Structure 1
Amino acid sequence: MKATPPVAAPSALVDAPEPHPRAAKVRTPASAPLPPAPSLLQEKTGSVGVARAVFGLLLIFCLTPWASPPLALALGLGLAQTVGNPFPAHTRKLTAKLLQYSVIGLGFGMNAHAAVQAGQEGVLFTVASIAGTLILGYGLGRWLGLGRHVTHLISCGTAICGGSAIAAVGPVLRAKEEEMSVALATVFVLNALALFAFPAIGHALAMTQNQFGLWCAIAIHDTSSVVGAATAYGDQALQVATTVKLARALWIIPVSIGTALLFKQKGVKIKVPYFILGFIGAMLLNTYLPALQAGGAWQEVGPLLVQLAKMGLTVTLFFIGAGLSMQAVKAVGPKPFVLGVALWLLISTASLYVILHR
């Protein structure tokens, strides 16, 4: 198994010059962390077969009713730190598509009227938090001495929807591959922490389902971790979190356009998150198609698709965890990680305070 080339040292990202306008377009998947290098055990014993067997057993377990999104992520992390991920290229490719199809499937368990109400409640939080995060990120990035591209990528990932936002904004910036990798690693490490920490905090503060769902959608980076944390909290929290988060993800488009204007990039292509339209279509079908209603000919189809979507999400988080090796974490370096943690803590605590006291 070939080792993945190491990510550039973080010091190279400090006050880095802007990339040449003709720099190659980065093709980093929307929800894929850094590909891990072979584990120490694999390097010493060459036990690729063992790694594949362990991977297969864990994957099968993630498809059972006993697996949950947090547990799947933990199993993936354990795999990455021990025998290693034997299929980094495959899991990296599957993660983004599997997440998108899972989100669409969740739409068959949602009611359009409730979703509109949840979206209206979260729109002001969305606008204020996105604008505030981008402004704070710019100031903190300058104070830390980070390059403009890394600062903007981490800020967009924190403000909108993690890896999806970074993958959309990166080509607009014509960012370098190492800049993309550092930003992705930063947000994925924080996603893993949030998936475990948020449900515990929510229960400790006795947050309602609506409160927790709204908080998840605003304060957790990636859609996969938002849905995973909300699923662990309750069905109503899941509905609120998914609706608000996907509405938030639509801000990729105006932020990408603003990025092109701010950084004076011409001839770039804006990446549109089309899977959100699939989610809306599934939700409308579930709400207005009589055959899917109680007593209808297809009344069992909706719950089945939702169950398959939740299984897909669980597998997605297992793949993400399997990609977070120690090499990926160490490659982030102190300064980008400080920026990511600072922004995350600020948006998490500020939104939590507003939600509990409004």
Structure 2
Amino acid sequence: MDTGTHVLMGFALGGLATFDPAIANDPTLAHAVLIGTLVGSQAPDIDTVFKLKNNAKYIRNHRGMTHSIPALFIWTLLISVTLFYIYDTSFFHVALWTFIAVSVHVFVDIFNSYGTQALRPFSKKWVALGIINTFDPFIFIIHLAGIVLWLNGHHAGYTFLAVYVVLIGYYIIRFRQQQAIKRKLKQMFPDVEQVITVPTIKWNEWHLAVTTSNHFYVVRAQNGTIDVLDIFEKCPIPDIPIIQKAKQDENLAAFLSFSPVYRWEIHEYNDHYEVRFIDLRYRSKNYYPFVAVVQLDLDLNIVSSYTGWIFSEKKLRKKLELIPS
């Protein structure tokens, strides 16, 4: 989820914790638990600092080890021990609700198309269910409404219990919507091998990348209608020197470690080659913004590369800072 929603979830969990009489009747403990749920709901995203290094480091590490099974316990311990020494209150209660906050953060991140490596260290597989958009207006608004009710004197525990009961129903509805779309796609494409769903910010619109035996289909599902936007031939990546060299670049390597469905291109110019990999999950105004590009000279030396989100060829050329094509 987005940072704002994670913050609201931290408040909500802190309010839900007041169901426990020990917390409800001890202002110091209640304050420590609220700080624990707020910090715990944000802690896994500390890996965003890799963005300051470069996109390759960010793509390889964001939602990786910081969202793993060991991280759930590490974050809980670090936050709870710190709060215990600051507030000198019940370590058990603070640790319990901090653990819940960290776990909820990782759990909800699984439901969008980006996903997490939540199964590490047992598997580096990206777990991305593609049911909820990274920013979901309904989830954000219902949390915000719960906080407003809390601040206006309503019982925090019952308020947020109601919020999460509604959210469970909401997730079930979104799951059923996704499954209905997948069933339609399997009827359209009998040889389907993989369907990746990318929910949009709009309730009734989904983007999809469909892999069949011979093609990739980029599809939009809107109001129950399915439209094929693009069709690409499914071509194996050739085992040739230019590709082998390009794969040594950290930007392309990061892209390939993350993207589950993509197409590739090789362009030859007078004085250089360009290798481009394009993620088919994301499409915006007829453009595919998540790419990895490697440029090599005629001797196959890497001269420039880029991976990340880019929304025009002009901006991509500026990022590459190099040889104009």
Structure number with the higher helix fraction is 1
Give your verdict on TM over 0.5.
no
Q: TM-score, normalised by structure 2?
A: 0.26
Select the structure of larger CA radius of gyration.
2
More strand by share: 2
TM-score (norm 1): 0.24
